[in-house]
Amino acid sequence: MIDWSAIDTVLLDMDGTLLDLHFDNVFWLSHLPRRYAEHHGLCPDDTSRQLHQRFNAIRGTLNWYCLDYWSRELAIDIRLLKEEIQHLIAERPYAIHFLEQLGRAGKARILATNAHPRSLDLKLSLTGIGGHLDRIISSHQYRAPKESPLFWQALVEDTGLNPARTLFIDDSQTVLEAAQRFGIRHLLCIYQPDSQGTHHYDGPFQAIHHFDEILPLPLVAAALHHHG
């Protein structure tokens, strides 16, 4: 599926790609609406509907991903609420193994996420992915989400990566389309970003279930041969 000799840089999304999207879905779809209703003494069902309308109204913008924005808007500490269900934060299968192999293969491993820095810090502190990444970039640093061409322009200027020799893996078709328009050559989607969810990707991009499908395998063979 992937010609590893044609790739120098691997860009990876975090939520739904390296990490299970289950945490985020539970948080935004049920935990936050429930706690918000409790906090402000509101009817949970109405609150849930209203919140999702507010979320959808700014979907795909930087504020949609901004913890500070929602903490202000909803008058509640979003980061603190995330910590209440932080036990759900988990790596997706083979994520660490894949990152390790990329490192051994000499590929640059860059996390490119829309996650807010305070959300990113929480997830890095609770998972093992941080130690296997060469760069960690939040779109908030560039003041533009991954859906915007401005993000990609800033990313290339900042990292010096060659779009033609870059593989980008993300669970969002919209974001992959933005990367494709910018000129990122190799693109992959994730079939089931939420391990407990029923959503399966069926769009135009090639997709994988888990990273074991695209490990730089010749490396494994070479390592076994070397030790044998």
* Domain encompassing residue 80: 23-87
pLDDT(227) > 80: no
Q: What's the domain count of the chain?
A: 2
**How far apart are alpha carbons 89 and 82 in whole angstroms?**
10
- For the full predicted model, state whether its pTM sits above 0.75: yes
**136-192 pLDDT, tens digit each:** 999 999 999 999 999 999 999 999 999 999 999 999 999 999 999 999 999 999 999
Over range 28-40, report the average pLDDT.
96
Tell me: do 105 and 66 sit in the same domain: no
Q: What is the pLDDT of residue 216?
A: 82
How far is it between the farthest Cα atoms of the chain?
66
Question: Which residues, in sequence order, are CB contacts of 214 under 8 Å at separation 6+?
Answer: 1, 2, 98, 188, 208
Over range 50-78, report the average pLDDT.
96
Residue with the larger pLDDT of the pair 224 and 168: 168
Query: Where residue 222 falls among pLDDT bands split at 50, 70, 90?
Result: very low
Q: If we measure between CA atoms, which residue out of 18, 1, 194, 207 comes closest to residue 112? A: 18
Tell me: do 105 and 163 sit in the same domain: yes
Query: Where residue 228 falls among pLDDT bands split at 50, 70, 90?
Result: very low
Query: Where residue 199 falls among pLDDT bands split at 50, 70, 90?
Result: confident
Tell me: do 138 and 63 sit in the same domain: no
Over range 33-57, report the average pLDDT.
94
Question: Which residues, in sequence order, are CB contacts of 159 under 8 Å at separation 6+?
Answer: 9, 108, 110, 135, 137
Over range 61-82, report the average pLDDT.
96
**Cα 38 off chain centre by:** 30
Domain stop point among 49, 69, 87: 87
Both tokens assigned to 35: 């706690």
User: What is the dihedral sign for C-alpha 169, 136, 110, 99?
Assistant: negative
Tell me: do 83 and 96 sit in the same domain: no
The pairing of beta strand 9-12 with beta strand 207-208: unpaired
Domain stop point among 39, 72, 87: 87
**How far apart are alpha carbons 69 and 82 in whole angstroms?**
15
Domain stop point among 70, 87, 104: 87
Name the DSSP class of 183: T
Q: What is the mean pLDDT of the chain?
A: 94
Tell me: do 44 and 144 sit in the same domain: no
Tell me: do 220 and 121 sit in the same domain: yes
Would you say 104 and 97 are in contact if contact means Cβ atoms under 8 Å apart? no
DSSP string, 122-133: HHHHHSS-GGG-
Tell me: do 75 and 123 sit in the same domain: no
Q: If we measure between CA atoms, which residue out of 136, 160, 116, 106 comes closest to residue 24? A: 116
